[in-house]
């Protein structure tokens, strides 16, 4: 049976009803509403699935750019790590706190790879993992920098005769700093996941005829706590690095500030 559009205007609260209803019977007043996941075709005679939009791996320019940059810097970090491991037992590597430097390079590598969790069709598990993974790996990286800066400050103070700072020299202090700072971020992330974790969200209202598949962060407090803690760690590391920039240490990365 041929299907024709209604010849009388119908209005809804948000859109012209003719845009999302279709006439099932010729010259009939019975209209069937399309489901939230569907949209009428151009002839308004049947419902068709809406177009799904999300940040794909290859179809978006920004995705390709982010992926390329992440892979490039991952390979650069991997190369540096390979050189570092090759000279593992040399005096210059041993003097530069091998364990912290190794942990720093590995965490930076994982941070670069975490960008791929933000690409592709979001599902609940990727929504939960993307901020959590980046937050923890980035916190470990910044904590390693913070620990290295603290060790430089302690080593400089310990060079003075009779200094009480000598007892703080060693790997225990640096490992404790990294463990403590990283544990706080892990606790924040686990609390966020336990109370109100991120989940997949379908936005059917922003763009007519399109379903925007995105992640809802769940708890805004949890999200901003993770981001805020990373900012706090970075700020503390910068302040200590700035104060230690003039220390006469050959292995003080902060001296270039």
Q: Which domains are present in the chain?
A: 1-49 (no CATH), 61-256 (1.20.1070.10)
Provide φ and ψ at 22, rounded to 5°: -135, 150
Smallest Cα–Cα separation from 233: which of 190, 182, 174, 172? 182
42-57 residues labelled b (16+ CB within 10 A) or e (exposed) = eebeebeebeebbbee
CA distance 39 to 207: 12
Q: What are phi and psi of 42, to 5 degrees?
A: -65, -30
Number of residues that this document lists for the chain: 257
Take residue 228 and report the two structure tokens written for it.
């805020």
Give the 3-state secondary structure of residue 50: coil
Compute the C-alpha angle 215/217/222, nearest 5°: 160
DSSP state of 22: E
pLDDT at 207: 80
Does the model's pTM come out above 0.85?
no
What is the C-alpha to C-alpha distance for residues 144 and 138, in angstroms, rounded to an integer? 10
d(CA 196, CA 154): 41
Q: What is residue 23's predicted lDDT score, i.e. its pLDDT?
A: 45
Cα dihedral: 100, 104, 106, 111 (round 10): 160
Mean pLDDT (10-residue bins), the chain, 257 residues: 34 44 49 80 80 81 88 95 90 81 92 90 91 92 88 74 66 84 94 92 84 89 93 89 70 59
Torsion of CA 127, 129, 130, 132, to 10 degrees: 120
Report how far apart, in Å, the C-alpha atoms of 17 and of each of 12, 53, 241 are: 5, 24, 62
- What is residue 218's three-state secondary structure? coil
**Residue (of 211, 44, 226) closest to 133 by Cα position:** 226
């Amino acid at each position: 049976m041929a299907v024709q559009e209604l010849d009388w205007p119908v209005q809804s609260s948000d859109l012209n009803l003719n845009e999302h209803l279709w006439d099932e019977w010729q010259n009939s007043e019975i209209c069937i509403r399309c489901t939230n996941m569907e949209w009428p075709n151009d002839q308004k005679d049947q419902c068709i699935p809406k177009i799904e939009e999300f940040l794909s791996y290859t179809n978006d320019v920004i995705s390709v750019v982010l992926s390329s940059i992440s892979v490039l810097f991952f390979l650069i970090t991997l190369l540096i790590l390979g050189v570092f491991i090759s000279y593992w037992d040399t005096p210059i590597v041993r003097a530069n706190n091998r364990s912290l430097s190794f942990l720093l390079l590995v965490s930076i590598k994982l941070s670069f790879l975490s960008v791929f969790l933000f690409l592709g069709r979001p599902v609940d598990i990727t929504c939960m993992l993307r901020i959590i993974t980046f937050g923890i790996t980035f916190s470990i990286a910044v904590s390693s920098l913070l620990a290295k800066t603290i060790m430089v400050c302690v080593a400089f103070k310990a060079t003075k005769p009779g200094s009480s700072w000598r007892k703080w020299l060693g790997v225990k202090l640096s490992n404790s700093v990294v463990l403590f700072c990283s544990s706080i971020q892990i606790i924040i992330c686990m609390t966020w996941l336990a109370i109100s974790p991120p989940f997949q969200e379908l936005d059917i209202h922003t763009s007519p005829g399109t379903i925007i598949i995105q992640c809802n962060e769940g708890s805004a407090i949890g999200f901003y706590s993770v981001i805020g803690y990373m900012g706090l760690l970075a700020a503390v590391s910068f302040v200590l690095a700035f104060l230690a920039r003039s220390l006469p240490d050959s292995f003080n990365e902060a001296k270039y500030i």
